């Protein structure tokens, strides 16, 4: 699976529930117009298959774009040898704040299929994906999940579903259905691969339950930069809190910082955690606030929240990022975890 790191704009993006700014709307339409005009030229247009569906690339594989490494992992597992997967957002990139570039739009338009996480994780990029989705297959992998199992509400859903391993594994069914629609001759193969992927995640789910349960009950408090670990808390019995909300687009207020400092001091929480895709500034404020009140808190480690680890590493895969997080959390909060994690690869 190719891990292509594009741009890292730091522009703050408004939440999708707000109306896009006129400038961004005009920019997106301009990008689409340029790319569509290029796609209409004989030299770059893809040849449609006889059934009207996108044809595979010249390699015989479908050219698939995945927004995040977590999405790319499940797509690669289900698609196997029939897909070339490119991940748009690399390690350390925050999808909440990412602004779609002209090159991004061009790459999306050249793809046969596009998969994204959904539930507003991709912020304003979702607007572009919706527009492109009127002319090509663009699918949120979370679209088939039972709404009753989602956190948040319909206007502000919590998109961090991958921290409940069992729940995330269900996204493989959506990928299999889409792939079967694109390459119907391989439909059974895709559905079998989805089932195999789901079965392969069961040991990871059990590891998370057993390992986090070793943390002393009074210390099962996970405090991070933003509220990305709600599904982990619900699935594996640990209280989770973030300085910011479920999107890093929100600001960390002084009142919230003071509330968490009070909790750290009262519960004698030994460690807090930074995230690979979020500034550690707010976590440092907690540490300094607790120190001013006589309680020493350390950084327990760096967790992967909205982005996986570096491409080509174990932590760059979905199982690897979860294994890393569970092992790091348990070890730092007084629990017991093998040094190398579930698979001995950390």
What CA–CA distances, in Å, run from 84 to 57, 179, 212?
Answer: 9, 12, 36
Rounded to 10°, the helix 171-182/187-212 angle is: 170
Last-in-domain residue among 173, 202, 231: 202
Same domain, yes or no, for 217 and 174?
Answer: no
Same domain, yes or no, for 243 and 197?
Answer: no
> Is 345 within the bounds of a domain?
no
Domain that holds residue 178: 2-202
Indicate which CATH number applies to the domain containing 17. Answer: 3.40.50.1980
Last-in-domain residue among 159, 178, 202: 202
* Cα torsion through 345, 277, 1, 178, rounded to 10: 120
**Which residues are 299's β-sheet partners?**
272
**Which residues are 3's β-sheet partners?**
87
Give the per-residue pLDDT at 249.
56
Same domain, yes or no, for 191 and 231?
Answer: no
Q: What is the pTM assigned to this prediction?
A: 0.82
Give the per-residue pLDDT at 52.
37
Same domain, yes or no, for 121 and 142?
Answer: yes
Same domain, yes or no, for 258 and 186?
Answer: no
> Is 107 within the bounds of a domain?
yes
Question: What pLDDT tens digit does each residue of the chain (346 aa) get?
Answer: 544 444 333 333 333 333 344 344 444 444 444 444 333 333 233 333 333 344 455 567 999 999 999 999 999 999 999 999 999 998 988 898 898 899 999 999 999 999 999 999 999 898 889 999 999 999 999 999 999 999 999 888 999 999 999 999 999 999 999 999 999 999 999 999 999 999 999 999 999 999 999 999 999 999 999 889 999 999 999 999 999 877 665 555 788 999 999 999 999 999 999 999 888 999 999 999 999 999 999 999 999 999 999 999 999 999 999 999 999 999 999 999 999 999 999 9
Same domain, yes or no, for 96 and 47?
Answer: yes
Q: Which of 68, 64, 73, 66 is nearest to 110 (CA)?
A: 64
Same domain, yes or no, for 147 and 250?
Answer: no
Number of separate domains in the chain: 2
> Is 297 within the bounds of a domain?
yes
What CA–CA distances, in Å, run from 146 to 142, 143, 161?
Answer: 9, 9, 12
CB neighbour list of residue 65: distance below 8 Å, 6 or more residues apart: 85, 86, 88, 107, 108, 111, 113, 114, 115
**Which residues are 271's β-sheet partners?**
298
CB neighbour list of residue 156: distance below 8 Å, 6 or more residues apart: 15, 17, 120, 246
Give the per-residue pLDDT at 55.
46
> Is 340 within the bounds of a domain?
no
> Is 137 within the bounds of a domain?
yes
Give the per-residue pLDDT at 226.
85
> Count of alpha carbons within 13 Å of 12, Cβ hemisphere only?
6
Residue 17: exposure state from Cβ atoms within 10 A (0-12, 13-18, ≥19): exposed
Between CA 115 and CA 197 the distance in angstroms is: 17
Give the per-residue pLDDT at 129.
93
């Amino acid at each position: 699976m190719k891990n292509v790191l594009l741009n890292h704009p730091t522009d703050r993006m408004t939440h999708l529930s707000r109306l896009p700014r006129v400038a961004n709307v005009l920019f997106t339409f301009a990008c689409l117009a340029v790319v569509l005009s290029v796609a209409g030229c004989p030299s770059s247009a893809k040849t449609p298959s006889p059934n009207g569906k996108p044809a595979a690339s010249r390699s015989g594989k479908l050219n698939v774009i995945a927004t995040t490494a977590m999405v790319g992992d499940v797509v690669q597992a289900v698609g196997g040898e029939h897909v070339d997967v490119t991940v748009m957002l690399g390690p350390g990139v925050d999808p909440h704040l990412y602004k779609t570039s002209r090159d991004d739009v061009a790459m999306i338009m050249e793809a046969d299929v596009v998969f994204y996480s959904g539930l507003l994780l991709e912020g304003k990029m979702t607007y572009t994906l919706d527009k492109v989705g009127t002319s090509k297959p663009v699918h949120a992998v979370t679209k088939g999940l039972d709404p009753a199992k989602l956190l948040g509400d319909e206007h502000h859903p919590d998109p961090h579903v991958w921290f409940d391993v069992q729940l995330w594994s269900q996204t493989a069914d959506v990928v299999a259905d889409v792939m079967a629609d694109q390459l119907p001759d391989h439909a059974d193969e895709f559905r079998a691969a989805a089932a195999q992927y789901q079965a392969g995640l069961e040991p990871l789910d059990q590891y998370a339950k057993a390992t986090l349960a070793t943390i002393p009950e009074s210390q099962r408090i996970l405090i991070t930069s933003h509220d990305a670990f709600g599904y982990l808390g619900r699935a594996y019995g640990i209280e989770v809190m973030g300085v910011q909300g479920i999107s890093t687009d929100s600001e960390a207020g002084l009142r919230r910082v003071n509330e968490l400092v009070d909790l750290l001091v009262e519960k004698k929480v030994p460690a807090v955690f930074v995230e690979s895709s979020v500034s550690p500034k707010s976590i440092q404020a907690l540490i300094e606030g607790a120190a001013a009140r006589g309680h020493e808190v350390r950084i327990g480690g760096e967790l992967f929240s909205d982005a996986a680890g570096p491409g080509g590493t174990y932590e760059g895969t979905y199982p690897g990022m979860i294994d890393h997080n569970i092992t790091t959390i348990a070890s730092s909060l007084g629990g017991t975890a093998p040094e190398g994690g579930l698979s001995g690869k950390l």
